[in-house]
Chains A and B, each alone.
Chain A
Amino acid sequence: MTLATQRIAVPRRRAATPRRRAGGAAGYLFVAGYTVLLLAFGVFPTCYAFYLAYTNEAGSFTGLNQFTKVAADPRFGPAFSHVLLYLVLWLVALVVLTVLVAVVLRSRVRASVSALFRFLYYLPGALAGVASVLVWLFMLDPDVSPVSWLLKAMGLDTFAAVLAPGDLPVIFMLIAFWTGAGGWMVVMYGALNNIPDEVLEAARMDGAGPWRTAWHIQIPMIRQWIAYMTILAFAGGTQLFVEPQLLQTASLGRVSPAWSPNQLAYVYAFQQGDFNGAAAISVFLLALGLLCAGLLVWRSNMFTLDEK
């Protein structure tokens, strides 16, 4: 995929340079559709959420009162700590395993076999989100699971036992990894492909084995990609909603309906009828996401490297 885009992108950029002005109208036309949709369904709702978070039901300005109100909710702290624990597990597993698998596929596996593996890894991600969770509902229920022997060997005889509150972050990490990591392995593989052969050749001449090459050459050279993956996975992870929500329904309520912050916002909006409180929780989430993304961009020098 990466190679294909490069091949197309390079000649177009060259051709476009001399007559940039003339191509303007078509260019604007092409981006216009997306921009309109972005404004309507991305920017406007965000602004509306900010408006709601700073007002009350009657529409009067409330300052930070909505924020202090939702933060004082006894479900607020647990919801955020659940998701933070899940994020730590998920991001560590994602970064370590995707990079490891990509490096092994790139350097230790024959090209044809590697292509097959990459295809297989990508498959679960192609399933729609809800369908993937349903697959896991079957996997985790000892009554119907094809790996019920494994669950039973772990002392988990019933679906209820599998859903012990302490195990939920691990379960959601497994689901997220299964659905999301395959796609990232393919991307990491593409990133490794971008490293010039001469560099790897030089490393080999200097006597570096595959692992030393991976650690000292390959991984540092795709650091930006790893940071990029982490930011996107983090942003997606804070939005955790479908998995706990479906598990809540399937387990007949054994999972709290306010397990994650997004679910808590949902409860606020649609059960308590408090759209302002729900908006305040969303703004909390947005701030958290921006803060962590900013931190990662800053620590990984992503944009500095880009300018080189």
Chain B
Amino acid sequence: MRSSGSPRTALRRRAERAGAALAALAAAAVLAGCASADPVKDTGAQPGHADFKPVAQKDGSPITVWADSTRLPSVQAYQKAHPDVKMKIVTYDGGADGSTYLQTKVQLFDRTGNGWPDVVFGTPTDVTWASAPTKPGAKPFAAPLDQKLVPQSTLDGFAKGSLTPCQFNGHTYCLRNDIAQVVLWYNKSLMDRWGYQVPTTWAQYEALGLKVAKEHPGYLVGSAGDTNSQESYLWSSQCPAFDLVKPDTLRVDLQDPKCTRMTTLLDKLISAKAVSTEGFFSQGFAKSSGSKVLMAYGPSWYGQYLFKTAFHTPAKQMAAAAPLTWPGETTASTGNVGGGVWMVSSHSANLKASAALATWLTTSNDNQAAAPTYPAYTPAATAWLANPANRDYFAADVSAPFQQAANSVWTGWSNTKFSDATAWSSVVLPALTDGKTLTATLPAWQKAISDEAKSNGYQVTNQ
């Protein structure tokens, strides 16, 4: 061993060592005294609205309404019919996939303490954050409508399960405007001409897809390339991709046979070129392949928005069929692609007028019978189906498949604080374009969902 050198060096060394120890102690003390980076998550507190206290109410005070451009005419119609209600209507991008405009704005209003709109149109994803405070001490944005704002009898009139995305901690925070229940769309003219049977099971769908690929190359039975294709296919397959087992625990198990049965099926159809990896809504699709869509497994609004508006498919060609079943199932489960909601702000100084507007928008036949999409409120849906404008375009009556699908939406695919479109679009779709199979991409998708869930404060299980 080396000698410790001169006494002076030794002294200095000892001083240095003592200093270092002191510094380490101080650092440890500082760090130990430090609060955690996330106080809300640590206490596990999910302060809901059990004790909802409205702000001071001012009868007749003006209300601000935020609506997307599709819903704007409804709000304007209400204003016209109720000139006594003072309203300020703002159009905003409320329905777009993964749009976080409302969330962004509310975060800022919560910081500045004012500016909240009274009534807003949003997506079911919006309700997950709007029903909880954005920061400690803040009021959750959405008001619990079941607390003396909307009668229980009205809430009971919504289609089975359609208010599930609105419910948290036993309260209802939104009224569902429309359901985007997934059905099987098909071109009846082509099916008849080619002598094909409309499938009722997934096995038949697969067999027909492979047959179409051989007999009529270029024709498609679906697309897996849109931002919401996972909601049509994997949700319908009851794949536990977004399963909230507890309010703060998300189960993401993409190796479950209920996921792989669908990805295997789609992979076969993709490699046969019967299912496109280009999205129906991607640029150029309508022009290049819009007229070659024989079948599409997708939401009820595909009829008007995809086939009529985007693809310009002539009237009396398209028809809808009920959701498909898997072997061993007697009743089908189906997916859900969007479906807007109306929320009332807990900061509103005129809750009465706000709740009345939200109720009218979602339940009134005057509004919903002519609405662009299938209403969630059952009596309004009946009126909607009776409206010739909603049925004349189709080759057959869509009422039965729409009603059946509306009551078959699988409730195991939960709404989370983040959109289920982000990971699908940014991880799975580029891999598909790159020629990978869906099944091979499942681990990467599972990781992306799990990571996003964790950073949004969820605990994640992958079993």
Which residues of A line the B interface, CB within 8 A? 55-58, 60-66, 68-69, 73-75, 141-144, 158-161, 163-165, 252-257, 269-277
Judge if B36 is at the interface, Cβ distance under 8 Å. Answer: yes
Question: How near does chain A come to B35, taking the closest CB pair, in angstroms?
Answer: 4
Q: Is the CB of A164 within 8 A of B430?
A: yes
Judge if B134 is at the interface, Cβ distance under 8 Å. Answer: yes
| Nearest 4 interchain pairs by C-beta | A253-B425, A63-B34, A60-B35, A143-B284
**What separation, in Å, do the CA atoms of A56 and B136 have in the docked complex?**
10
Q: Is the CB of A65 within 8 A of B227?
A: no
**What separation, in Å, do the CA atoms of A62 and B31 have in the docked complex?**
8
Question: How near does chain A come to B276, taking the closest CB pair, in angstroms?
Answer: 11
Judge if B168 is at the interface, Cβ distance under 8 Å. Answer: no
List residues of chain B with CB within 8 A of the CB of A141.
283-284
Mark interface residues in B25-58 (1 if CB within 8 Å of A CB, else 0).
Answer: 0000011011111111000000000000000000
**What separation, in Å, do the CA atoms of A272 and B104 have in the docked complex?**
9
Question: How near does chain A come to B370, taking the closest CB pair, in angstroms?
Answer: 29
Q: Is the CB of B37 within 8 A of A277?
A: yes
List residues of chain B with CB within 8 A of the CB of A252.
97, 226-227, 279, 281-282, 425
Instruction: From A64, A270, A272, give the contact of B455 (CB < 8 A).
Output: A272
Majority DSSP secondary structure for residues of A touching B:
loop
Q: Is the CB of B225 within 8 A of A57?
A: no
Give the A-B contact count at a CB cut-off of 8 A. 121
Q: Is the CB of B282 within 8 A of A272?
A: no
Q: Is the CB of A63 within 8 A of B422?
A: no
Q: Which residue of chain A has the shortest Cβ distance to B431 in the bound complex?
A: A165
Q: Is the CB of B426 within 8 A of A144?
A: no
Q: Is the CB of A164 within 8 A of B129?
A: no
List residues of chain A with CB within 8 A of the CB of B284.
141-143, 158-159
Question: How near does chain B come to A270, taking the closest CB pair, in angstroms?
Answer: 4
Judge if B267 is at the interface, Cβ distance under 8 Å. Answer: no
**What separation, in Å, do the CA atoms of A280 and B348 have in the docked complex?**
34
User: Given A58-B35, A159-B282, A254–B451 Cβ distance below 8 Å?
Assistant: no
Question: How near does chain B come to A65, taking the closest CB pair, in angstroms?
Answer: 4
List residues of chain B with CB within 8 A of the CB of A68.
37
List residues of chain B with CB within 8 A of the CB of A272.
417, 455-457
Q: Is the CB of A254 within 8 A of B426?
A: yes
**What separation, in Å, do the CA atoms of A255 and B427 have in the docked complex?**
9
List residues of chain B with CB within 8 A of the CB of A270.
100, 103-104, 107
Q: Is the CB of B38 within 8 A of A56?
A: yes
Judge if B192 is at the interface, Cβ distance under 8 Å. Answer: no
Of A66, A75, A270, A277, most buried by chain B (CB within 10 Å of CB) is: A270
Question: How near does chain B come to A279, taking the closest CB pair, in angstroms?
Answer: 11
Instruction: From B31, B33, B38, B430, give the contact of A165 (CB < 8 A).
Output: B430
Mark interface residues in B3-39 (1 if CB within 8 Å of A CB, else 0).
Answer: 0000000000000000000000000001101111111
List residues of chain A with CB within 8 A of the CB of B425.
252-254
Mark interface residues in B419-463 (1 if CB within 8 Å of A CB, else 0).
Answer: 001101111011001100000000000010001001111000000
List residues of chain A with CB within 8 A of the CB of B30.
63
In the assembled complex, 27 residue pairs joining A and B whose CB atoms fall closer than 8 Å, in A order, are: A56-B35, A57-B135, A58-B35, A61-B33, A62-B35, A62-B36, A63-B30, A66-B37, A75-B451, A143-B287, A144-B283, A158-B278, A158-B433, A159-B283, A159-B284, A160-B225, A160-B278, A160-B279, A164-B434, A165-B430, A252-B226, A252-B279, A254-B426, A270-B104, A272-B456, A273-B129, A276-B37
